[in-house]
Amino acid sequence: MADGAQDHDGEAEAGTTGHARIHAYLKTLDNSPGVYRMLDAENRVLYVGKARNLRARVSSYARPAGHSPRIARMIRETASMMFLTTRTETEALLLEQNLIKQLKPRYNVLLRDDKSFPNILITKDHRFAQIRKHRGRKSVKGAYFGPFASAGAVNRTLNQLQKVFLLRTCTDSVFESRTRPCLLHQIKRCSAPCVGRISEADYAALVADAERFLSGKSTRIQSDLAREMGEASDAMEFERAAALRDRIRALTEVQQSQGINPRGVAEADVIALHMEGGQACVQVFFIRANQSWGNRDFYPRTGAGAEEAEVLEAFLGQFYDGKTPPRLVLLSHPIENTDLMAELLAERAGRKVEIATPKRGEKAELVENAARNARESLGRKLAESAAQGKLLSGLAEAFGLEAPPGRIEIFDNSHIQGASAVGAMVVAGPDGFLKSQYRKFNIRGDKLAPGDDFAMMRQVLTRRFKRLLREDPDRAGETWPDLLLIDGGAGQVSAVAGILADLGVDDIPVVGVSKGVDRDAGKEEFHRPGKPAFALPRNDPVLYFVQRLRDEAHRFAIGAHRQKRKKAMGATALDEIPGVGAARKRKLLAHFGSAKAVSRAGLADLRAAPGISEALAQSIHDFFHPGG
């Protein structure tokens, strides 16, 4: 609840629904700003909304006519309401966004893909700064440039920046351990500060140039490089002149690869919406330092038919939750509460944020370009959805399901003789693979026999369905699967059915996929509890679809296993010592050479290690020599 908010329910006749039920709440409301929730007869939240004036907003729902079909349906289903009054309209908007994110009501617009965006980071905690991709919280000291639309956009830019500015990308530990230049120096992508091939002052100048470029001040850099190349040529330093020429070419490539480079827009997010067939696509272009840093498309759930203004306003509130808004946000459609949203974004950014819907000039051209991309992206999405719908219908027919599944969960395990074992779950549905809902399960317990796939699957499914039963026992949300696909044969399927029955979940179809004769792809056999195995024709599209689902689960499981194994290989006994974090661990390993050498070191030697206090040295010694 927002600070200073008040929570109260109105009195109304039990058992009624619709506008008459809503009308009964009016006598309990005043003209305060706040948030309201509309609930159905089973107390499921249908809709969360904000209001500048709660009484006026609720009275609009109490009218028996004059509503859009979507709002009319929502009113008919409303059996009760809840209210939270706030001190300000901005508080109401913020509270509304928090509740939508938490409750995911059916009639609200929901942003389904809300991943963080990568940035380029130039570190400031080392005398020779590192340039690298960074995602997540900005906890590392340095200069951040972004956001970029994707990891690919960052990698392409970093690749070019290496050619231009020759900054190191290696980690500090690799930097400190180098005794000769690496391959990047040999292919002219690093100035090799690790082995003294460039002075600290000259390297700092390269860092400053890179920061200027990423801030949009590339013209001066290009002219400086051209002047230096001329001077080197005049001095007959042809090798240096050729190196500078290569840097100028690389800089030109960066500028050309940016595509859209608006002159009059230094920093903005260009956000355009296109709606068709009950679906929406929002296209976001990131303009920073007068350069385009890529674009990303989103497909928000439209809340059963919301209008453009509501979709865009909901998108803005959810998209910038946890992201710093730019100084300018350009929209394809006006929203209802522009001033309120600008105030909320300014509060999140710590400075003024302008929201505009341009009609002419360069800004309007940027919006039109984004709108065209949104229109084309949604067209492709609708075509893919139609094809996906046919596959799901075919899957339902092949496996004897009552209806095409809206959510398929595919499970797989990965391990090497039981070591670094992980379980993996991938999710697919009408929109394809839902990667934001993939889950990995670290297999727990030392009592599992190596390679006991049945026990691993039991653990994974038990954890998965216990959580579902705890978080959504009424199955009101969209997180319960309509079909489980298991990598395995009749024995595995029977075991899974038993696991689900033990949990009281016996109505979810389970299908096992085994390789069949000669373990040949295309000869897969399908297993269902209590039914004979069967196969699909080799050229059946449903067979290819199931193969893709199984292969995606296998890919994700192997990736999770490799990640866990890599982490385990880097683990040492030092990780278990209180007070020894990553930085001190690196210093100890660098000083003593290995974890075994640390374990054998005397107290005096530990005290002499860099960055190790007398108290910490005693703790390390006591850890390896208990009682001694």
How far is 327 from 206, CA to CA, in rounded Å?
A: 28
Is the pLDDT score of 177 beyond 70? yes
Which of 10-14, 118-122, 406-410, 491-495 has the lowest average pLDDT? 10-14
Is the pLDDT score of 419 beyond 60? no
- 402-420 b/e with 16+ CB inside 10 Å = b? eebbebbbbbbbbbeebeb
How far is 155 from 267, CA to CA, in rounded Å?
A: 21
Is the pLDDT score of 13 beyond 80? no
Mean pLDDT of 357-378: 94
Q: What is the pLDDT of residue 4?
A: 47
Least Cα distance to 430 among 405, 399, 401 occurs for 405
How confident is the model over 272-300, as pLDDT tens digits?
Answer: 999 988 889 999 999 988 888 889 999 99
DSSP assignment, residue 195?
Answer: G
Mean pLDDT of 572-579: 73
φ and ψ at 144, to 5 degrees?
Answer: -105, 135
Is the pLDDT score of 445 beyond 60? yes
How far is 460 from 454, CA to CA, in rounded Å?
A: 10
How confident is the model over 510-548, as pLDDT tens digits?
Answer: 999 987 665 555 578 899 998 899 989 888 899 989 998
267-379 and 573-624, same CATH topology: no
Q: What is the mean pLDDT of the chain?
A: 85
CA 46 remoteness from chain centre: 26
Distant-in-sequence, close-in-space partners of 614: CB < 8 Å, separation ≥ 6? 607
φ and ψ at 84, to 5 degrees?
Answer: -130, 115
Q: Quick one: fold of 267-379? A: Nucleotidyltransferase; domain 5 (3.30.420)
Alpha-carbon distance values, 347 to 33, 180, 308, 341, 353 (Å)? 18, 50, 25, 10, 9
Q: What is the pLDDT of residue 196?
A: 93
Which of 44-58, 64-78, 142-156, 367-381 has the lowest average pLDDT? 142-156
How far is 404 from 555, CA to CA, in rounded Å?
A: 25
3-class SS letters over 288-308: ECCEEEEEEEECCECCCCCCH
Q: Quick one: fold of 573-624? A: DNA polymerase; domain 1 (1.10.150)
Contact, 342 vs 350, CB < 8 A? no
Q: Quick one: fold of 6-103? A: GIY-YIG endonuclease (3.40.1440)
Q: What is the CA radius of gyration of the chain?
A: 30
How far is 310 from 591, CA to CA, in rounded Å?
A: 60
Q: Quick one: fold of 408-568? A: Nucleotidyltransferase; domain 5 (3.30.420)
Q: For the sheet with 45-51, list strands across it.
A: 6-8, 80-85, 34-39, 45-51
In the numeric block, the tokens 């389970």 are attached to 510
DSSP assignments along 467-502, one per residue: HHHHH-TT--SS-S-SEEEEES-HHHHHHHHHHHHH
How far is 120 from 289, CA to CA, in rounded Å?
A: 13
How far is 558 from 551, CA to CA, in rounded Å?
A: 10
Please name every residue paired with 83 in a beta bridge, in sequence order, or none if there are none: 8, 36
DSSP assignment, residue 318?
Answer: H
Is the pLDDT score of 11 beyond 50? no
**Long-range contacts formed by 577-586: CB under 8 A, 24+ apart:** 577/619, 577/620, 577/623, 578/619, 579/616, 579/619, 580/616, 580/620, 583/611, 584/611, 584/612, 584/616, 586/172, 586/173
Contact, 54 vs 36, CB < 8 A? yes
Least Cα distance to 422 among 575, 566, 573, 582 occurs for 566
Mean pLDDT of 324-340: 94
Q: What is the pLDDT of residue 12?
A: 47
Which of 134-143, 320-329, 569-578 has the lowest average pLDDT? 569-578
336 class by beta-carbon count within 10 Å (0-12 exposed, 13-18 middle, 19+ buried) = exposed
How far is 241 from 229, CA to CA, in rounded Å?
A: 5
Q: What is the pLDDT of residue 619?
A: 85
DSSP assignment, residue 64?
Answer: S
Q: What is the pLDDT of residue 473?
A: 84
Contact, 354 vs 339, CB < 8 A? no
Contact, 440 vs 424, CB < 8 A? yes
Length of the chain in terms of residues written: 628
What amino acid is encoded at 304 in this protein? A
In the numeric block, the tokens 């002047």 are attached to 227
267-276 and 328-331: which strand pairing?
Answer: parallel
pLDDT-above-70 percentage for the chain? 89
Q: Give 238 or 506, the one with higher predicted confidence.
A: 506
How confident is the model over 447-500, as pLDDT tens digits?
Answer: 555 566 777 888 889 999 998 888 888 787 778 999 999 988 888 898 889 889
Q: Give 186 or 455, the one with higher predicted confidence.
A: 186
Q: What is the pLDDT of residue 3?
A: 46
Mean pLDDT of 352-368: 95
15 class by beta-carbon count within 10 Å (0-12 exposed, 13-18 middle, 19+ buried) = exposed
193: cis peptide before it, omega within 30°? no
Q: What is the pLDDT of residue 34?
A: 95
How far is 286 from 401, CA to CA, in rounded Å?
A: 44
DSSP assignments along 261-275, one per residue: --SS-SEEEEEEEEE
Q: What is the pLDDT of residue 138?
A: 86
- Positive or negative CA dihedral for 337, 343, 347, 348? positive
Q: What is the pLDDT of residue 1?
A: 42
Q: Which two tokens stand for residue 476?
A: 């009101």
Domain definitions of the chain by residue range: 6-103, 119-257, 267-379, 408-568, 573-624
DSSP assignments along 326-392, one per residue: -SEEEESS--TTHHHHHHHHHHHHTS--EEE---SHHHHHHHHHHHHHHHHHHHHHHHHHHHHHHHH
How confident is the model over 97-131, as pLDDT tens digits?
Answer: 999 988 999 999 998 766 788 999 999 989 999 99
Using 50, 70 and 90 to split pLDDT, how confident is the model at 339?
A: very high
Q: What is the pLDDT of residue 361?
A: 93
